[in-house]
Amino acid sequence: MTELLLLHHAQGLTSGVVRFADRLRAAGHTVHTPDCFDGRTFDSLDDGIAYAREVGFGAVQQRGIAAAEGLAGDVVYAGFSMGVMAAQQLAQTRPGARGALFFESCLPPAEFGSAWPATVPVQVHGMAEDPIFAGEGDLDAARELVEQAEDGALFLYPGSVHLFADDTLPTYDRAAAEALTERVLAFLARV
* Each residue's pLDDT tens digit, 45-59: 999 999 999 999 999
Instruction: Give me the domain span that covers residue 155.
Output: 3-190
Q: What is the pLDDT along the chain (191 residues), one digit of tens a residue?
A: 999 999 999 999 999 999 999 999 999 999 999 999 999 999 999 999 999 999 999 999 999 999 999 998 899 999 999 999 999 999 999 999 999 999 999 999 999 988 999 999 999 999 999 999 999 999 999 999 999 999 999 999 999 999 999 999 999 999 999 999 999 999 999 99
What pLDDT, on a 0 to 100 scale, did the predictor assign at position 114? 81
- Of 138, 161, 166, 169, the residue nearest 44 (C-alpha): 169
What residues form DSSP beta bridges with 39? none
Burial level of 156, CB count in 10 A (0-12/13-18/19+)? middle
Structurally, the chain folds into a number of domains equal to 1
Helices in the chain by DSSP H: which ranges? 15-26, 45-55, 57-66, 84-93, 138-148, 174-190
What pLDDT, on a 0 to 100 scale, did the predictor assign at position 6? 98
What pLDDT, on a 0 to 100 scale, did the predictor assign at position 73? 84
Within 13 Å and on the Cβ side, how many CA atoms surround 186?
Answer: 8
Taking the C-alpha atoms of residue 5 and residue 45, their distance in angstroms, rounded to an integer, is 22
Residue 160's domain is classified under what CATH number?
Answer: 3.40.50.1820
What pLDDT, on a 0 to 100 scale, did the predictor assign at position 187? 98
